[in-house]
Amino acid sequence: MGEDHVLVPVLLDAVNAFRNSIEAIKGTTFVPHTPFETQPYHSDNSGQRLRWTWTLPRLQELELEGEVAVAFDLSTLQHCPKLRSLRLVLPTYLFSTCEDEDTLARMSEEVEHICKASQLVELELYGKWPLSDYLLLMIAERMRKLRKLLIVGARDVSPRGFQEAVAKIPTLEVLVIGQNLIPRANRQVRFQEMKTHNPRLTITVEED
């Protein structure tokens, strides 16, 4: 836990040092505020990116929250062949200012790399991730072992597209979604349709 410009180099050193044995990576960053600061800074502004180019053969769990989740290069997932659990939590303020548009553009280009984690059993995405119906279908088609899916706060996902993607994940057992993803008016109907494809599915709604 710490500021992103401190934590990212520390994580990289640890990943490098224990590349053959590390099984879990967890990092949380916070934004320090002073009385003179009016807006938070982002990892992109400090030039810090969390990425590595070597294989982590035993890594099974990756959990990043805050600035460090913004700093993480999703293409790095190609070097994590055994990853089973991925939890990425974006800062709540992200995309609240005009300066965030560059970050959004970069994340929109990179987000498809999440499909490189094809062995995932659990995928949790909190925050305003630039997802799409097309990307959700890619996730459904490539993550054939997925049992838990959490999407809270995502952008640009339609209720119908989300429903069609879920229907293509027969292994799914737990689904957690943000309350704004599917309108309350037809939520129960869509839930029943999802359970038609997978009667074991448990669905929970969280506040975005």
Domains identified in the chain, total number: 1
What pLDDT is attached to residue 48? 79
Owning domain of residue 189: 60-206
Q: CA of 41: how far to CAs of 34, 49, 93, 128, in Å?
A: 12, 14, 10, 17
Which residue bears the tokens 């879990």?
24
Domain assignment present for 41: no
- pTM, to two decimals: 0.90
Q: Kindly state whether residue 135 falls inside one of the protein's structural domains.
A: yes
> pLDDT at position 40, please?
44
In a domain, 132, yes or no: yes
- Is the residue at 46 inside a domain? no
Round to whole Å and give the CA distance between 131 and 78.
Answer: 19
Say if 39 falls within a structural domain.
Answer: no
* pLDDT for res 94: 84
Q: How far apart are CA 190 and CA 159, in angstroms?
A: 8
Q: What is the pLDDT of residues 7-32, one digit of tens each?
A: 899 999 999 999 999 999 999 987 55
The arithmetic mean of pLDDT across residues 163-177, rounded, is 95
Q: If pLDDT is split at 50, 70 and 90, which confidence band does 114 have?
A: very high
Give the ranges where 85-152 is alpha helix by DSSP (H).
101-110, 133-142
Residue 21 lies inside a defined structural domain of this protein:
no
Asked, for residue 38, whether it belongs to a domain, the answer is no
Q: Could you tell me the CATH number of the domain that includes residue 144?
A: 3.80.10.10
Residue 109 belongs to some domain of the structure:
yes
